[in-house]
Amino acid sequence: MKWGIFSLSQIPDQTERVAAFDADLKQFELAEELGYDTVWIAEHLFSTYGVVTSTQVYAAAIAQRTKRVRIGMAVVVIPFNHPLRTASDFALVDILSHGRLDFGAGRAYQPHEFKGLGVPMEESREMFNEGLDVVVKAWTQDKITHKGKFWTISDPVEVLPKPVQKPHPPIYQATISPESFEQAAEHGWNLQFAAPFTYRTYREAWMDQLEAHCRRYEGLCQERGRDPKAAQRMMLVPFFVHEDAKRAKEIYKPHVEWFYEKVSANQLAGAPAPVKGYELTMVEGKKTREMGYLAFDKLDQYGALVADSPEGCIAKLREMKQRFGITEFVLWFSIGGMDPAECERAMRLTRERVMPHV
């Protein structure tokens, strides 16, 4: 079992952006000091929902502030950049970190980002598949050419530098829809689960649905001659622990509600109707919001977040580990502009009284 922390670098008050990033980086340093295995970051555009616009830039900064902890992407949005640029940049990150990169990839889900960049959202899955294929080839082949729907590499190109890890850094796929589990099984990629997003799609049945997806994924792996237990299964969980369970919920609640209000607004921006390829998540996400399932009490009731005493946190994480075969928990302490001091206290308490018992 591995343990990580996650930051979306959410800075509600942009006048505090310098101090907030300093606190973010100190949190990653503390994670290494306390013995966490990984730190995970994400990229977003045009919103305080998350202000890291380039995970490669931020990962390079983290690489220089840490020595041991692995640096995970959750996720790199493949359709938003030329795949040769993505391959080159993250090979450089792998070098700067001395081989500590975990490469999580996805296709994005917020309409205003696609609109802002002029990228067709309805073609994101095709772009993801084609782009990630180019990235892997660029990492593993001396020279490559490519003729696809979205990108063409006419003359052989040698992409340098090559990453340290061989044959390439571990690849994780963000998995919510049935199609994403099928892709992961087809390619043998590691699985990246996220409680907030699976819950927004399936509400009170999210654990049952995720467990069913895992069983289907295992069957697909067996059909392809792959060991269904070989891939890593990382679970991102909004998480906060306090000696007193009631106090844990009181501290965490306003920050969680800020996050869900922001993600709901971003999901609606620029997309009055469901976009092709996102019908399930958009239709069900709208229902989840309208039916009141994004209220803190509902999120807590159905396990879409963990805010509890150490004993309560242990029980909830143990259930997820058993049901989904989790190999790594990635805990999100710093949601919605949480006080860094509260994050630090919770990280220490987790290390001392939760992690040893899961």
Q: Is the pLDDT of residue 270 over 80?
A: no
Q: Is the pLDDT of residue 219 over 80?
A: yes
Q: Is the pLDDT of residue 97 over 90?
A: yes
- For 114-135, the pLDDT digits (tens) are 999 999 999 999 999 999 999 9
The whole-number average pLDDT for the span 168-179 is: 95
**What does the pLDDT read at residue 33?**
98
Give the residue carrying structure tokens 């580990």: 321
pTM for the whole thing?
0.97
**What does the pLDDT read at residue 66?**
98
Q: How many domains does the chain have?
A: 1
Confidence band, pLDDT 50/70/90 cuts, at residue 272: confident
- For 282-309, the pLDDT digits (tens) are 999 999 999 999 999 999 999 999 999 9
Q: Is the pLDDT of residue 271 over 80?
A: no
> Which range, of 61-70, 247-256, 276-285, averages the lowest pLDDT?
276-285
Complete DSSP assignment for 211-235: HHHHHHHHHHHHHTT--TTSS-EEE
Distance CA 333, CA 336 (A): 9
The whole-number average pLDDT for the span 345-349 is: 98
Instruction: Please give the residue range of the domain that contains residue 172.
Output: 2-357
CATH classification of the domain holding 130: 3.20.20.30
- With a pLDDT cut of 90, the percent of the chain lying above it is 97
- For 42-86, the pLDDT digits (tens) are 999 999 999 999 999 999 999 999 999 999 999 999 999 999 999
